[in-house]
Amino acid sequence: MHTQLLALLHHHHFHSSTSILDSSSISISAPSPLSFCMAISLSAYQVADLCLGKPPLRSLFSSATIATALAALKSSPDTFLSVWTCDHKISNLDSNCVCVAKICIADIICYLCKKENASSPASSLNQPLSLLLSHSTSRVTHIDPSASLLEAIDLMIQGAQNLVVPIRSSISSSRRKRSSATAIHEFCWLTQEDVVRFLLSSIGLFSPIATLPIETLGVITPNFLSVEYNCAAASAIGAISRSLAEQTSVAVVDEEGGLIGEISPLALSCCDETAAAAVLTLSAGDLMAYVECGGPTEEMVRVVEEKLKERKLKGMVKEIMVAATSNAGMAMGRRAEAVVCHRGSSLVAVMIQAITCRVSYVWVMEDDCSVGGIVTFANMLHVFREHFDSLI
């Protein structure tokens, strides 16, 4: 009943306050009684309320091989898989079993690009998955389903990207009837995108800040990762790894700093392990074309293979390029077109852009088409958290 009342109050406010967004005034006034009531109702939402209907996580055992993880990722519709200290295929799991990381194909591509791994990718893939987890353990955090929405936001502001939540019995009851041994091991996770999407549905509560320019709100991060279009993509391996850890991307710019495109971990994760060869041999600009949704051309695959031979990476030629040759011309990635906004763009407009394009960041373009910075979901959540505090 309590949840239903909150939902009704939320519904009433959403429909009665959207006109505020049409106001030409951007001065921030004292919160109205209705805003105060809505703030109280919003604070009553629990993490479980945002997890309704979410599917169970697909899991990997941390002691599995990287090759096992790669095969699981290639056969999964999910970009990321969760990594645990236990094997979820075992019915009587240790109560101390925890999710320690998330992993995607981009993690494996960066791993294969390391000098010590590029010479013998097959043996490198047979190494334990734990080798990939050192930089990703801080990305996931366990949270109780009864924790408040504000607690979840605070964890995300502190750096958590995915919050691991036990699926309540009411959600998994139908599954428990079929397999009682595994139901207690079901978890889902809450992402920054989930929370931003939820806040967008309550955007009237955050007027007038939602209509203010992002520059006024101070949500633009001026420091960003970039590589010049004609530079070797291999020079950006460190930046790609960092962007993966930070949930951002690497801007591909011209000599004047103008934005041409990007190399995003998300785009790389839509490829397979053959993209590692492309990263090691192509320019940043050519790599953008390689990972686009159309897939590499036969000519591009030949260029990559020739450059691998020049660098005496025979192992990668034999073990990686066989798959690349068979996949030439096949759709494998997503377009590398960057999502951009301007300093004068409103916060709500940037939120909608990010949610619509399924990215966790938006590039900020200057009038001369150079990159002025980047706005992330974490930046947005920080602003909303501060505004929420001002309401109560």
Give me the chain's average pLDDT, please. 83
Candidates 3.40.640.10, 3.20.20.150, 3.40.50.2000, 3.10.580.10; correct CATH number of 59-192? 3.10.580.10
Report whether pLDDT(374) > 50: yes
Tell me the percentage of the chain whose pLDDT exceeds 90: 59
Intervals of CATH 3.10.580.10 along the chain: 1-30+202-259+336-392, 59-192
The β-bridge relationship of strands 162-166 and 140-142 is parallel
Name 158's Cβ contacts closer than 8 Å, sequence gap at least 6: none
* C-alpha span between 279 and 282 (Å, rounded): 6
Name 221's Cβ contacts closer than 8 Å, sequence gap at least 6: 373, 374, 375, 376, 379
Q: Which of 385, 382, 367 is nearest to 220 (CA)?
A: 382
Going by pLDDT thresholds of 50, 70 and 90, the confidence category of residue 389 is confident
User: What's the whole-model pTM score?
Assistant: 0.83
The predicted pLDDT at position 46 comes to 94
DSSP structural state of residue 339: P
CATH topology of domain 1-30+202-259+336-392: CBS-domain (3.10.580)
Q: pLDDT tens digits for 211-270?
A: 999 999 999 999 999 999 999 999 999 999 999 999 999 999 999 999 999 999 999 999
Q: pLDDT tens digits for 66-93?
A: 999 999 999 999 999 999 998 877 765 5
The predicted pLDDT at position 44 comes to 86
The predicted pLDDT at position 32 comes to 61
Q: What is the mean pLDDT of residues 171-182?
A: 42
Report whether pLDDT(3) > 60: no
* C-alpha span between 241 and 250 (Å, rounded): 10
Going by pLDDT thresholds of 50, 70 and 90, the confidence category of residue 194 is very high
Going by pLDDT thresholds of 50, 70 and 90, the confidence category of residue 33 is low
Most confident stretch, 84-88, 151-155, 309-313, 319-323: 151-155
